[in-house]
Structures are given as C-alpha cells and as structure tokens.
Amino acid sequence: RKEVEQDPGPFNVPEGATVAFNCTYSNSASQSFFWYRQDCRKEPKLLMSVYSSGNEDGRFTAQLNRASQYISLLIRDSKLSDSATYLCVVNTNAGKSTFGDGTTLTVKP
Amino acid sequence: DADVTQTPRNRITKTGKRIMLECSQTKGHDRMYWYRQDPGLGLRLIYYSFDVKDINKGEISDGYSVSRQAQAKFSLSLESAIPNQTALYFCATSDRDYQPLNEQFFGPGTRLTVL
C-alpha cells in the first residue's frame, strides 16, 4: 500500500462545476499536509497548506481529518485555468515529503 | 531570475555513460532534495540533504549519488546510466526554520533520456 493515495482521475468537468479530490495517508505520525499543483510536467507549486480546522483560499477549500487520515480539496466554480494535476503531499516531522501520484483535472468550456 | 535552477534542462545520453545534474538555489535554504517523476506517477525522493555535511538516501537511491558542494549547490550523479533512469528530475529546497510546514520550492526540472 502506498503511503499517500489519490484517485488518479482523470476528472473532466465543465466550467463552473464543483469538483472534489480525496487523498488518504498511512503514516499516523504525519505532521503537515499540502496540495501542490503541477502543470504539463512543469515543476510542482504549492497551492495551499491543509490545516485541521480546514482552510479556504478563494474558490479552493482544503480539509484534513486526522482521525481518518484523509485530506480533501474542493474547487468551486471551476475555470479552464484550473486544468492541471493536483498532488497531495504529506510531511513527517523529520522534514521528508511523500507525494501522491496526483489527480488530473480537465475543465472544459 | 529563478530561485532554484537546474542544468541541463534536457539531456539525451547512452547506456553506461556518467551523467551529472546540477541544482543551484538563491533562496538561502538549508534543505535540498532530488526527486524523479515518471509518467503518471508522483515524485519519488532520491536523496536529500539538510545541510552541507548531511546527506541522506531517499526511497530510490540505488544507481544514484549526490554531492552537496555548498549550501546553494546540490548535484545528482548517475554513475552508469540505464534506460529505466529515463525520467523527469526535480531539485527542491525548503527552509529549516519553518518546520514542520516545510513548503518545498522546485526547480524547473531536467528531462533525462537514456538510450
């Protein structure tokens, strides 16, 4: 079993749709959690950190459930520019990051 | 100018050749990482370094070696390249002082093809 698992998709949605991505992790000692965005095999870039209380940044909402070891990302009012691969990343306190394989999103007109 | 740079950006080589990929950063971060990415997969950690005198193996270090020449430079070597090392390689940095948040900043990647 992989340490970080994501639904690979692809997710194909129309503009304006709401889409949710899920991620589970196996290491209960994990300390911090992120969603990164990766475009067309370019470098990953941080989209947002994920906090236990949940956090929102514009159209993006991230949730963390430590008890279930589950992370989610919700995108509302999808834009064409949201098309990308979204990587779930989990860090241990030792500073190492484990990446999920990514979920691919295509937003269509 | 980019904060994390990688050279070369693309490289085609033959089986058995020695290859070095270089990474430089101007962010002043202590921590540096090398990852590889294969199609349809996430990033897998090859080696990481938390300071100049610290080198650690990641999950897929076999066939690779690294050198941390200075705080700002971290090189990855393939001593004898083989075709299954064909991949996209990323260097990344992070700031020790923001642990455990550990946001990583990535270079643009090196696309390596081993024939």
Q: What is the DSSP string of A30-99?
A: --EEEEEEE-TT---EEEEEE-TT-EEETTEEEEEETTTTEEEEEE-S--GGG-EEEEEEEE-TTS-EEE
Q: What is the pLDDT of residues B30-85, one digit of tens each?
A: 999 999 999 888 899 999 999 999 999 999 999 999 999 999 999 999 999 999 99
Q: Mean of the per-residue pLDDT values for chain B?
A: 92
CB contact under 8 A, A93 and B100: yes
Q: Do B105 and B94 meet the contact criterion of CB atoms below 8 Å apart?
A: yes
Size of interface A-B (CB pairs under 8 A): 59
> Across residues A83-98, what is the average pLDDT?
87
Instruction: Give the range among A19-23, A67-71, A78-82, A90-94 with minimum mean pLDDT.
Output: A90-94
* pLDDT of A83: 97
What are A89's strand-pairing partners? A34, A99
Residue of A15, A18, A16 whose CA lies nearest to A72: A18
> Across residues A38-67, what is the average pLDDT?
91
* pLDDT of B41: 82
Q: What is the pLDDT of residues B84-95, one digit of tens each?
A: 999 999 999 998
- The alpha-carbon radius of gyration of chain A (Å, integer) is 13
> Across residues A86-90, what is the average pLDDT?
95
Q: What is the pLDDT of residues A3-36, one digit of tens each?
A: 999 988 899 999 999 999 999 999 988 888 999 9
Is the pLDDT reported for residue A41 higher than 80? no
Interface test with A, best of B35, B37, B90, B112 (most A CBs within 10 A): B37
* pLDDT of B42: 86
Residue A93 distance to chain B (closest CA, Å): 6
Q: Find chain B residues with C-beta within 8 A of A43's C-beta.
A: 90, 106-109
Q: Do A99 and A37 meet the contact criterion of CB atoms below 8 Å apart?
A: no
What are the tokens at B92? Answer: 């990344």
* pLDDT of B43: 93
Cα angle: B80, vertex B84, B87; to 5 degrees: 100
Query: CA-CA distance, B45 to B62, in Å (whole number)?
Result: 11
* pLDDT of B1: 58
* pLDDT of B98: 63
* pLDDT of B46: 96
Is the pLDDT reported for residue A85 higher than 80? yes
* pLDDT of A53: 83
* pLDDT of A2: 85
Residue A8 distance to chain B (closest CA, Å): 8
Q: Is B43 on the interface with A (CB under 8 A)?
A: yes
Q: Are strands B105-106 and B73-78 parallel, antiparallel or unpaired?
A: unpaired
Is the pLDDT reported for residue B14 higher than 60? yes
> Across residues A33-55, what is the average pLDDT?
90
Q: Which of A46, A93, A101 sits opposite B42 (nearest CB)?
A: A101
Sign of CA dihedral B79, B84, B90, B95: negative
Is the pLDDT reported for residue B100 higher than 60? no
CB contact under 8 A, B40 and A8: yes
* pLDDT of B2: 67
Q: Is A101 on the interface with B (CB under 8 A)?
A: yes
